[in-house]
Amino acid sequence: MSEITVAEVDVRRVRDQIVDVREDEEVAEGMIPGALHIPLGQLASRTAELDHARPVVTVCRSGKRSARAAEELTAAGFQAETMNGGMIAWRNAGLPTS
């Protein structure tokens, strides 16, 4: 599974699809600006919302669920990676949330 750093995601978020797979109550605490919220349990039924032509970066709280999501998306034909450290690392880096 390919992982990328929060710094890489911050640069790439303007061109890549960022998919936040956390649950509603977690997302209420803030997400990466421009990210699409698709809880992990809904991912398989909502892949039509994603563009196969654009890379996908999956995000969760710490990185475990997003790794599973990236594996699922890769199996579905997407170029998918996971953000190392999740939103914990994003916030620790002082990066913006919406």
1 assigned to active site: no
The beta strands (E) that lie in the chain are given as 3-4, 17-20, 36-37, 56-59, 80-83
Q: How many domains are contained in the chain? A: 1
Mean pLDDT score across all residues of the chain: 95
DSSP annotation of 85 reads T
- Determine the pLDDT at residue 63: 84
Q: Is the pLDDT of residue 1 over 90?
A: no
- pTM to 2 decimal places: 0.94
Q: Which amino acid is at 95?
A: L
Q: Which of 19, 38, 60, 67 is an active site residue?
A: 60
Q: Give a yes or no: residue 97 inside a domain.
A: no
Q: Give a yes or no: residue 98 inside a domain.
A: no
Tens-place pLDDT, residues 70-81: 999 999 999 999
Residue 44's pLDDT band (boundaries 50, 70, 90)?
very high
Q: Which residues contact 35 (CB under 8 A, 6 or more apart)?
A: 13, 18, 19, 20, 59
Domain that holds residue 52: 3-92
Domain of 13: which CATH number?
3.40.250.10
Distance between CA atoms of residues 49 and 5, nearest Å: 25
